Amino acid sequence: MSGYLESVLVLLAINIILAYAAFLPMVAGQLNLGVAAFVAIGAYSAGYLSNSFGLHPVPAALMAVAIAALTGWLVAFPILRTRGIYLALATFALNQVVQGTILNLNVVGGASGYPVPAHIGFPVVAAFSLAVIVLVFLAFRTRFGISVTAVSDDERVADLMGLSVRGVQSAAFTAGAALAGLAGALYAHHFNYIEAQNYGVLFSIYIVLYVLLGGTQTVYGPLLGAAVFTLLPELLRGSAAWRYVIFACLIIAIMSLRPQGVILKRAWFSK
Protein backbone atom coordinates (compact mmCIF):
# COMPACT_ATOMS: atom_id res chain seq x y z
CA MET A 1 0.00 0.00 0.00
CA SER A 2 1.38 3.41 -0.99
CA GLY A 3 2.01 6.04 1.66
CA TYR A 4 -0.59 8.34 0.10
CA LEU A 5 -3.32 5.69 0.08
CA GLU A 6 -2.51 4.69 3.65
CA SER A 7 -2.75 8.32 4.82
CA VAL A 8 -6.15 8.72 3.14
CA LEU A 9 -7.46 5.52 4.72
CA VAL A 10 -6.12 6.53 8.13
CA LEU A 11 -7.86 9.90 7.84
CA LEU A 12 -11.06 8.12 6.80
CA ALA A 13 -10.89 5.82 9.84
CA ILE A 14 -10.21 8.74 12.20
CA ASN A 15 -12.94 10.88 10.61
CA ILE A 16 -15.46 8.07 11.09
CA ILE A 17 -14.66 8.05 14.82
CA LEU A 18 -14.97 11.85 14.88
CA ALA A 19 -18.32 11.70 13.10
CA TYR A 20 -19.71 9.40 15.78
CA ALA A 21 -18.18 11.66 18.46
CA ALA A 22 -20.37 14.49 17.15
CA PHE A 23 -23.33 12.22 16.35
CA LEU A 24 -23.91 10.94 19.90
CA PRO A 25 -24.53 14.40 21.45
CA MET A 26 -26.47 15.59 18.40
CA VAL A 27 -28.85 12.65 18.42
CA ALA A 28 -29.58 13.53 22.06
CA GLY A 29 -30.47 17.09 21.04
CA GLN A 30 -27.12 18.83 21.67
CA LEU A 31 -25.15 20.82 19.09
CA ASN A 32 -21.57 20.39 20.29
CA LEU A 33 -19.13 22.85 18.72
CA GLY A 34 -16.43 21.77 21.16
CA VAL A 35 -15.59 18.38 19.65
CA ALA A 36 -12.14 19.64 18.67
CA ALA A 37 -11.42 20.42 22.33
CA PHE A 38 -11.74 16.74 23.25
CA VAL A 39 -9.73 15.74 20.18
CA ALA A 40 -6.94 17.99 21.44
CA ILE A 41 -7.21 16.60 24.96
CA GLY A 42 -6.94 13.05 23.63
CA ALA A 43 -4.07 13.85 21.28
CA TYR A 44 -1.95 15.72 23.81
CA SER A 45 -2.74 13.34 26.69
CA ALA A 46 -1.75 10.29 24.66
CA GLY A 47 1.34 12.00 23.27
CA TYR A 48 2.47 13.14 26.72
CA LEU A 49 1.91 9.70 28.25
CA SER A 50 3.89 7.91 25.56
CA ASN A 51 6.67 10.51 25.53
CA SER A 52 7.10 11.02 29.26
CA PHE A 53 6.30 7.55 30.61
CA GLY A 54 7.26 5.36 27.66
CA LEU A 55 3.79 3.87 27.32
CA HIS A 56 2.93 1.90 24.21
CA PRO A 57 0.61 3.96 21.95
CA VAL A 58 -2.39 1.65 22.48
CA PRO A 59 -2.57 1.88 26.32
CA ALA A 60 -1.67 5.56 26.02
CA ALA A 61 -4.63 6.02 23.68
CA LEU A 62 -6.95 4.15 26.05
CA MET A 63 -5.83 6.32 28.97
CA ALA A 64 -6.37 9.41 26.81
CA VAL A 65 -9.91 8.19 26.14
CA ALA A 66 -10.50 8.00 29.89
CA ILE A 67 -9.12 11.52 30.40
CA ALA A 68 -11.28 12.94 27.61
CA ALA A 69 -14.35 11.12 28.93
CA LEU A 70 -13.76 12.40 32.49
CA THR A 71 -13.34 15.94 31.17
CA GLY A 72 -16.52 15.60 29.12
CA TRP A 73 -18.43 14.29 32.12
CA LEU A 74 -17.24 17.17 34.33
CA VAL A 75 -18.10 19.92 31.85
CA ALA A 76 -21.39 18.29 30.81
CA PHE A 77 -23.19 19.37 33.99
CA PRO A 78 -22.73 23.15 33.62
CA ILE A 79 -22.78 23.18 29.81
CA LEU A 80 -25.95 21.11 29.44
CA ARG A 81 -27.87 23.59 31.56
CA THR A 82 -28.00 25.70 28.39
CA ARG A 83 -30.14 25.11 25.31
CA GLY A 84 -30.06 25.86 21.59
CA ILE A 85 -27.71 28.60 20.45
CA TYR A 86 -26.51 29.10 24.03
CA LEU A 87 -25.34 25.49 24.16
CA ALA A 88 -23.48 25.98 20.88
CA LEU A 89 -21.84 29.12 22.29
CA ALA A 90 -20.91 27.34 25.52
CA THR A 91 -19.22 24.48 23.65
CA PHE A 92 -17.54 27.04 21.36
CA ALA A 93 -16.13 28.75 24.46
CA LEU A 94 -14.94 25.39 25.80
CA ASN A 95 -13.06 24.83 22.55
CA GLN A 96 -11.35 28.21 22.89
CA VAL A 97 -10.41 27.58 26.54
CA VAL A 98 -8.81 24.20 25.78
CA GLN A 99 -6.97 25.48 22.72
CA GLY A 100 -5.70 28.56 24.56
CA THR A 101 -4.56 26.47 27.54
CA ILE A 102 -2.57 24.07 25.36
CA LEU A 103 -0.98 26.99 23.48
CA ASN A 104 0.41 28.22 26.82
CA LEU A 105 1.64 24.85 28.11
CA ASN A 106 5.35 24.67 27.38
CA VAL A 107 5.49 21.10 28.69
CA VAL A 108 3.71 20.00 25.51
CA GLY A 109 5.41 22.43 23.15
CA GLY A 110 2.99 25.33 23.40
CA ALA A 111 2.49 27.10 20.09
CA SER A 112 5.45 25.27 18.54
CA GLY A 113 3.65 21.95 18.35
CA TYR A 114 4.40 18.62 19.97
CA PRO A 115 6.26 15.74 18.32
CA VAL A 116 5.06 12.23 19.21
CA PRO A 117 7.73 9.72 18.11
CA ALA A 118 5.79 6.55 19.06
CA HIS A 119 3.98 5.30 15.97
CA ILE A 120 0.96 3.13 15.24
CA GLY A 121 0.13 1.94 11.74
CA PHE A 122 -3.01 1.75 9.66
CA PRO A 123 -4.13 -1.72 10.89
CA VAL A 124 -4.40 -0.52 14.50
CA VAL A 125 -6.23 2.67 13.51
CA ALA A 126 -8.60 0.69 11.27
CA ALA A 127 -9.25 -1.82 14.07
CA PHE A 128 -10.19 0.98 16.49
CA SER A 129 -12.46 2.56 13.87
CA LEU A 130 -14.20 -0.73 13.16
CA ALA A 131 -14.64 -1.34 16.89
CA VAL A 132 -16.26 2.09 17.30
CA ILE A 133 -18.67 1.42 14.42
CA VAL A 134 -19.69 -1.93 15.91
CA LEU A 135 -20.07 -0.49 19.43
CA VAL A 136 -22.24 2.40 18.23
CA PHE A 137 -24.44 0.07 16.20
CA LEU A 138 -24.84 -2.25 19.19
CA ALA A 139 -25.43 0.66 21.59
CA PHE A 140 -28.44 1.82 19.60
CA ARG A 141 -29.99 -1.59 20.04
CA THR A 142 -29.77 -1.33 23.82
CA ARG A 143 -31.74 0.63 26.40
CA PHE A 144 -29.21 3.46 26.08
CA GLY A 145 -29.85 3.85 22.36
CA ILE A 146 -33.61 3.70 22.82
CA SER A 147 -33.37 6.35 25.57
CA VAL A 148 -31.22 8.65 23.43
CA THR A 149 -33.66 8.31 20.54
CA ALA A 150 -36.61 9.04 22.85
CA VAL A 151 -34.93 12.18 24.20
CA SER A 152 -34.12 13.28 20.65
CA ASP A 153 -37.73 12.81 19.53
CA ASP A 154 -39.35 14.66 22.44
CA GLU A 155 -37.67 15.59 25.73
CA ARG A 156 -40.95 16.24 27.56
CA VAL A 157 -42.47 12.91 26.62
CA ALA A 158 -39.23 11.14 27.54
CA ASP A 159 -39.31 12.85 30.94
CA LEU A 160 -42.94 11.83 31.46
CA MET A 161 -41.96 8.25 30.65
CA GLY A 162 -39.52 8.32 33.56
CA LEU A 163 -36.29 8.86 31.66
CA SER A 164 -33.64 11.12 33.16
CA VAL A 165 -33.24 13.53 30.25
CA ARG A 166 -30.23 15.27 31.80
CA GLY A 167 -28.63 11.91 32.58
CA VAL A 168 -29.11 10.61 29.03
CA GLN A 169 -27.74 13.81 27.54
CA SER A 170 -24.75 13.79 29.90
CA ALA A 171 -24.01 10.17 28.98
CA ALA A 172 -24.22 10.97 25.26
CA PHE A 173 -21.98 14.03 25.71
CA THR A 174 -19.44 12.01 27.70
CA ALA A 175 -19.42 9.17 25.17
CA GLY A 176 -18.88 11.68 22.37
CA ALA A 177 -15.98 13.23 24.29
CA ALA A 178 -14.41 9.78 24.75
CA LEU A 179 -14.60 9.02 21.02
CA ALA A 180 -13.15 12.43 20.16
CA GLY A 181 -10.27 11.74 22.56
CA LEU A 182 -9.66 8.38 20.88
CA ALA A 183 -9.54 10.02 17.45
CA GLY A 184 -7.02 12.58 18.72
CA ALA A 185 -4.82 9.89 20.28
CA LEU A 186 -4.79 7.86 17.07
CA TYR A 187 -3.96 10.92 14.99
CA ALA A 188 -1.10 11.90 17.29
CA HIS A 189 0.49 8.46 17.16
CA HIS A 190 0.09 7.90 13.45
CA PHE A 191 1.16 11.29 12.08
CA ASN A 192 3.61 11.81 14.98
CA TYR A 193 3.11 15.54 15.29
CA ILE A 194 0.28 17.67 16.71
CA GLU A 195 -0.39 21.40 16.88
CA ALA A 196 -3.00 23.11 19.03
CA GLN A 197 -3.77 25.54 16.19
CA ASN A 198 -5.35 22.66 14.27
CA TYR A 199 -8.01 22.11 16.93
CA GLY A 200 -10.01 25.30 16.55
CA VAL A 201 -13.76 25.73 16.25
CA LEU A 202 -13.57 25.41 12.45
CA PHE A 203 -12.40 21.83 12.95
CA SER A 204 -15.44 21.20 15.16
CA ILE A 205 -17.73 22.64 12.50
CA TYR A 206 -16.30 20.29 9.87
CA ILE A 207 -16.98 17.34 12.16
CA VAL A 208 -20.57 18.47 12.72
CA LEU A 209 -20.97 18.78 8.94
CA TYR A 210 -20.07 15.09 8.59
CA VAL A 211 -23.15 14.26 10.64
CA LEU A 212 -25.46 16.83 9.05
CA LEU A 213 -24.59 15.63 5.55
CA GLY A 214 -25.06 11.94 6.31
CA GLY A 215 -28.07 12.52 8.55
CA THR A 216 -28.79 12.20 12.25
CA GLN A 217 -31.77 9.86 11.91
CA THR A 218 -29.74 6.65 11.64
CA VAL A 219 -26.33 5.40 12.71
CA TYR A 220 -25.41 5.01 9.04
CA GLY A 221 -25.48 8.77 8.47
CA PRO A 222 -22.18 9.73 10.17
CA LEU A 223 -20.44 6.87 8.37
CA LEU A 224 -21.53 8.20 4.98
CA GLY A 225 -20.83 11.82 5.88
CA ALA A 226 -17.28 11.06 7.01
CA ALA A 227 -16.64 9.04 3.84
CA VAL A 228 -17.91 11.83 1.56
CA PHE A 229 -15.94 14.60 3.29
CA THR A 230 -12.76 12.50 3.33
CA LEU A 231 -12.81 10.80 -0.07
CA LEU A 232 -14.58 13.26 -2.37
CA PRO A 233 -11.86 15.97 -2.17
CA GLU A 234 -9.27 13.29 -2.97
CA LEU A 235 -11.30 12.03 -5.94
CA LEU A 236 -11.45 15.62 -7.21
CA ARG A 237 -7.71 16.14 -6.75
CA GLY A 238 -7.24 16.02 -10.52
CA SER A 239 -9.23 19.28 -10.79
CA ALA A 240 -6.34 21.09 -9.08
CA ALA A 241 -7.37 24.49 -7.68
CA TRP A 242 -11.03 24.00 -8.62
CA ARG A 243 -11.54 20.86 -6.59
CA TYR A 244 -12.66 22.69 -3.43
CA VAL A 245 -15.08 24.83 -5.45
CA ILE A 246 -16.55 21.71 -7.06
CA PHE A 247 -16.65 19.96 -3.70
CA ALA A 248 -18.47 22.88 -2.05
CA CYS A 249 -21.00 23.08 -4.88
CA LEU A 250 -21.70 19.36 -4.60
CA ILE A 251 -22.24 19.66 -0.85
CA ILE A 252 -24.63 22.61 -1.36
CA ALA A 253 -26.56 20.62 -3.96
CA ILE A 254 -26.82 17.56 -1.69
CA MET A 255 -27.96 19.60 1.31
CA SER A 256 -30.49 21.48 -0.82
CA LEU A 257 -32.01 18.24 -2.09
CA ARG A 258 -31.78 16.40 1.24
CA PRO A 259 -31.81 19.00 4.05
CA GLN A 260 -32.33 16.29 6.68
CA GLY A 261 -29.26 14.40 5.51
CA VAL A 262 -28.66 11.87 2.79
CA ILE A 263 -29.85 8.86 4.82
CA LEU A 264 -33.32 9.12 6.33
CA LYS A 265 -34.93 6.89 8.92
CA ARG A 266 -37.29 5.39 6.38
CA ALA A 267 -34.39 4.11 4.25
CA TRP A 268 -34.48 0.34 3.87
CA PHE A 269 -30.98 -0.16 5.21
CA SER A 270 -31.69 1.71 8.47
CA LYS A 271 -33.93 -1.08 9.68
- Write the DSSP string, 125-175: HHHHHHHHHHHHHHHTTSHHHHHHHHHHH-HHHHHHTT--HHHHHHHHHHH
Judged by DSSP in three states, 32 sits in: coil
pLDDT for 220-232, tens place per residue? 999 999 998 898 8
Q: How far is CA 11 from CA 76, 91, 125, 168, 239, in A?
A: 28, 24, 9, 30, 21
Mean pLDDT value across residues 8-28: 94
Nearest alpha-carbon partner for 185 in 111, 94, 114, 107: 114
Question: What pLDDT is attached to residue 88?
Answer: 85
- Give every CB contact of residue 66 below 8 A, 6+ residues apart in sequence: 178
Is residue 97 classed as helix, strand or coil in its secondary structure? helix
Q: What is the mean pLDDT of residues 151-180?
A: 86
Closest CA to 213 of 186, 176, 253, 268: 253
Q: CA 212 to CA 264: how far, in whole Å? A: 11
Among the listed residues 132, 42, 124, 38, the one whose alpha carbon sits nearest the alpha carbon of residue 79:
38
Judging by beta carbons within 10 Å of its beta carbon (0-12, 13-18, 19+), is residue 140 exposed, middle or buried?
Answer: middle
- With beta carbons less than 8 A apart as the criterion, state whether 190 and 120 touch: yes
Query: Distance between CA 239 and CA 249 in Å, rounded?
Result: 14
Q: How confident is the model at residue 216 (pLDDT cuts 50, 70, 90)?
A: confident
Q: What span, in angstroms and rounded, lies between the C-alpha atoms of 110 and 113?
A: 6
pLDDT in tens, 23-61: 999 988 888 889 999 999 999 999 999 999 999 999 999
Confidence tier at 271 by pLDDT (50, 70, 90): very low
Mean pLDDT of 86-108: 91
Neighbours of 96 (CB within 10 A): 13
Domain ranges of the chain: 3-214
Rounded to 5 degrees, what are φ and ψ at 28? -95, 10
d(CA 238, CA 15): 22
pTM score, whole prediction: 0.91
Task: Compute the distance between CA of residue 263 and CA of residue 267 in angstroms, rounded to an integer.
Answer: 7
d(CA 245, CA 98): 32
pLDDT > 70? residue 235: yes
* pLDDT for 237 beyond 90: no
Q: What is the pLDDT of residue 152?
A: 76
